[in-house]
Amino acid sequence: MRLQTDVLIIGSGAAGMYAALEAARHGARVMLVDRSLIGRGGATVMAQMTVAVALGEEQPDHWEHHLADTLTAGRELCDSALSQLLCEEAPACIREMDAWGVGWARKNGHISQVQAPGHDRPRCVYVDFVNTGPAVSKTLRARLQRTAEVQRTGDLLVTELALCDGACVGAYAVHTATGESIPIAAKTTIIATGGLTRIYARNSASINMGGDGYALALRAGAELIDMEFVQFFPIGHLAPRLVGMDPIMWDPFRYKLGGRLLNAEMREFLQEDGRYVAARDHATYAILKEVAEGRGSPHGGAWLSFRIAASANCARHSAR
């Protein structure tokens, strides 16, 4: 079998599905392929919490404030042009998703926005009952079903980009159910294969997040940039593991449940006064510092305590 299209999109998370809709909107024939099921394979469908966007529904806001917070949180290391694109275009995208029926949580008739670490005001929208990612994914899948120009094919694992005189002219894929090799010719190829956290020993990624897109691009001669920007939940794992609860994002939950991070001396080392204020990298560095200075828990992390502060006894679980 040999396939042909105007635009080939590899990966059908939010990025790939939205790119497919946008390309179709501009009159292109699109082929959206995924190594898993369409819209169900990667991080998008797993995201539970919130999306930062300067809507100004809760308090006056502007994308420039969002950009300033983003650059500060990134220690000025982020690509400022890409950061601006994200912050500036986000409000229109989020409102578009609202019109498509994603169901952003509302309060008194307006979209509800909550504050998260790193932001100077309530800026984060969400779909209730930790349903943000699944709702975004479902909405985009439903749009795609009504978009005839987009052909969707799951179980296609792209293994190599096809090159001609140094230009990308499509890709080679393997049909995972039959092992059949399938070349796909395309005028334009978009890589939307998501992140690479699966390559770390302990992670909160799906099996499809092994960084395939990075490898495809690198082998095709592209330069990879900003490889140090890998995001982790500071408290993603418990030791010993708890069936059904590992990995899980304990960071927001620990505030709701009153959890505190303690070092080996049973001392709280991240002073947050019970508020959800420490950005993820700050919390991660704080844990690492305690471990590096010999004050870690026996499992190489910190203690996560749910005891009342005064007693300061540790819980039986340590976080890392």
Ligand X SMILES: Cc1cc2nc3c(=O)[nH]c(=O)nc-3n(C[C@H](O)[C@H](O)[C@H](O)COP(=O)(O)OP(=O)(O)OC[C@H]3O[C@@H](n4cnc5c(N)ncnc54)[C@H](O)[C@@H]3O)c2cc1C
Contact residues for ligand X, defined by CB under 6 A: 10-16, 33-36, 41-44, 46-51, 132-133, 157-158, 192-194, 204-205, 208-209, 212
Q: How far is the CB of 209 from ligand X (least distance, A)?
A: 5
Among residues 104 and 303, whose Cβ is nearest to ligand X? 104
Q: How far is the CB of 295 from ligand X (least distance, A)?
A: 28
Spatial distance between the Cα atoms of 138 and 191, rounded to a whole number of angstroms: 21
Among residues 12 and 297, whose Cβ is nearest to ligand X? 12
Is 251 in contact with 49 (CB distance < 8 Å)? no
Among residues 36 and 70, whose Cβ is nearest to ligand X? 36
Q: How far is the CB of 213 from ligand X (least distance, A)?
A: 6
Q: How far is the CB of 183 from ligand X (least distance, A)?
A: 14
Among residues 184 and 262, whose Cβ is nearest to ligand X? 184
Torsion of CA 32, 172, 42, 137, to 10 degrees: 0
Among residues 24 and 47, whose Cβ is nearest to ligand X? 47
Among residues 12 and 263, whose Cβ is nearest to ligand X? 12
**What are the structure tokens assigned to 275, written together?**
């508020």
